[in-house]
Structures are given as C-alpha cells and as structure tokens.
Amino acid sequence: MSSLVSIDTLIVDIPTIRPHVLAMATMRSQAMVIVRLVDADGIEGIGEGTTIGGLSYCEESPESIKSAIDDYIVPVLMRCDPTRVGATMAEIASSVRGNHFAKCAIETALLDMAGKRLGVPMSELIGGGRVRDRLPVGWTLASGNTSVDIAEGERMLSDRRHDIFKLKIGKRCLREDVAHVAAICRALGDRASVRVDVNQNWSEAQARRGMAMLQDVGCDLVEQPIAGDNVDGMARLVRSLPIPLMADEALRGPGSAFRLANSAAASVFALKIAQSGGPLAAAAVAAIGLSAGIDLYGGTMLEGGVGTAASAQVFSTVPNLAWGTELFGPLLLTEEFLADPLVYGDFGLTVPTGPGLGVALDP
C-alpha cells in the first residue's frame, strides 16, 4: 500500500486582462485553489479547484474549497492508498458531502499521479481513452460594451484564436441585451458562432420571450436562461422554442444529468469537471448526455492552467463535442503559473500528451 507524505493547498489570486462581466458579478481577478500531493515514491500530483465570482455563483468559494480540503478531506486521504483513485474518492464521498469543487481538485491530483506512475496521459485512464488531440475553443465576450466586444471578437478572428463567441447577458433589461447580441451577430455572425449565457437571471416568461428574440437576431444557443433547479420550466422552454437550451448550473453531477435527460429539459449539456464533482463524474455526465441524444459542450469555471489541462484531458475522450469547448481560462489571466503554457492556436487547444495532466507548476 502506498501513502501520501505531503499535501499542500494554496490559493493563487491573479488579475484578469479586463473586467469579466457576468449577470451576478464582475470579475477583475481569479482565485484558484491549487493542490499538490506527493507520495512515498516521490510522485507528485497536482489539481485545481476554481469557481467564478466567489459565492455569487455557487455554494463554494476559494476559501471554503481550501478549508474543506485541509480540515476534512486531508484526514481521509492520509489513511487511503492514493494509487486506488476510485476507492479513495469513495472514502472521501462517505465522509464529505457536496463540496464538488474541492473533491475535483483532489481527484484531479490523484489521476495526475496515476498517469505519471503508469507513464500515460490522464485521458487514457478515462473511458476508452482520448479520441482527439485538439479541442475547438470559444471565447467569452464579457466587457459589457458592444463596440469593445466587437473589436475584441475581430482580433480573435484575425489571430485565428477563436471563432466561437459566448456573450454574457442578463444584467441589463431584455431589450438592451438582445440589441447587444444582435449587433455582435451582425458584425461577427457570418464568420463565427455566437451564443449567450444568462447565468439563471431570467424568469421563465422573460426566457420565453428573450430566446425567441435571440433566435431572430441570429444567436445559435442560450445557456441556462432560468434557475437551474427549475427543471420543469427548462423542459417547457425546450419543447416550445427551436433555439437550443444548454444546461449549466442545473448540472451538478451524474444524478442531475439523469434528471435533466429524463425530463428532456436541455438540448445541450455544458460539461464541467468541477461542477460535476471531478473528472470521472464529468465523464459520466457526458455518457448520460450522449446516451440521451443530448449534445455536449466542454465548459469552464475559468480555471487556470491546471484545471484547464484536466478538463482538456476529459473532453479529449468524448466522442462527440458538437458545440466545442470554452477552455480559455488561462488566456484571461495576466500571469502564467505553468512551467510550459498550454498551446493555443488555429481556433483550438492542443491537449497535453505527457504523463498525467501533462503540465507542471512553475515554482
């Protein structure tokens, strides 16, 4: 039986390149919880737990993630064999309820160690292994200013960095938001896919009206327009409107994925490893979606390089990512903390091929 000899957690707080305006908060920096495990053989595993906008997005914050790991998960880890990832995570699940982001950071680090121990990328430990080495990556236009967003989108297209754009709306009145989206669709829509994310900020009545208006102006997809726990309302919107509805905050792991699929309450699933409770749970969410005929999209919590690499490893195993991914988190940060940055270009991200996550921290 192997054992851990070192467990470190730290919060890394890095400014963003510009304000990132969401319906519930404006981000000017991103705080990421980084986990570093070392076993008795000297093998290191790293993981990341990152959320958006502190407690304005969900029940976990950087501080609560670190506390959950240090005070509740570490004592369990110290009596487990880190080479047995499934058994270790089951033991943690029996001792710690919820706390998906904290569990994701730990599971990622354990899978990173397992990949390094076996000399294979983390993707080869999930399902049938990877089916692609590159992922299409979208960019969120979230300055809140129409002309600024258009100029930013033009730069991304010119640099061949992104041709998928998601707009954060829901903070302004419906007509203003639709006018903002319409202007961007007119400017960029013939060269890129334009989608929106409302972050649960509409009522069902607003969503019914807003989604119809958004389809008319050329928007391709609407993400989580109403509260994630209003599954019946989501199902009514899916039945009555042709524009695809993507579930995000409604997805909290395989159980919620099954309920959404059973209720036909989403056209698309936004896969997120942290929100699902870890890479293995995210793979299960993907399997449920594919089995139910629901399209998939690789989502992000705006993680840094570690969490983004982990997400990329999982998404590389998904047979059909109909809507691409949005793994742009490291590009939103003013500083890099990986020894070798992830490789972006030609509208996509190259999935690391080294053992485990395929990335290392810059000390």
User: What φ, ψ does residue 336 adopt, rounded to 5°?
Assistant: -105, 135
> Is 168 a catalytic site residue?
yes
Q: Beta partners for 295?
A: 268
Distance, in Å, from the CA atom of 209 to the CA atom of 288, rounded to the nearest integer, reads 30
Cα distance between residue 359 and residue 363, in whole Å: 13
SS (H, E, C) the chain: CCCEEEEEEEEEEEEEEEEEECCCCEEEEEEEEEEEEEECCCCEEEEEEECCCHHHCCCCCHHHHHHHHHHHHHHHHCCCCCCCHHHHHHHHHHHCCCCHHHHHHHHHHHHHHHHHHHCCEHHHHCCCCCCCCEEEECEEECCCCHHHHHHHHHHHHHCCCCCEEEEECCCCCHHHHHHHHHHHHHHHCCCCEEEEECCCCCCHHHHHHHHHHHHHCCCCCEECCCCCCCHHHHHHHHHHCCCCEEECCCCCCHHHHHHHHHHCCCCEEEECHHHHCCHHHHHHHHHHHHHCCCEEEECCCCCCHHHHHHHHHHHCCCCCCCCCECCCHHHHECCCCECCCCCEECCEEECCCCCECCCCECC
- Phi (first) and psi of residue 298, to 5 degrees: -85, 105
Say if residue 357 is exposed, middle or buried (CB neighbours under 10 Å; 0-12, 13-18, 19+): buried
Residue 114 phi/psi, 5° resolution? -65, -45
Q: Which is catalytic among the residues 116, 168, 171, 272?
A: 168
Catalytic residue set: 168
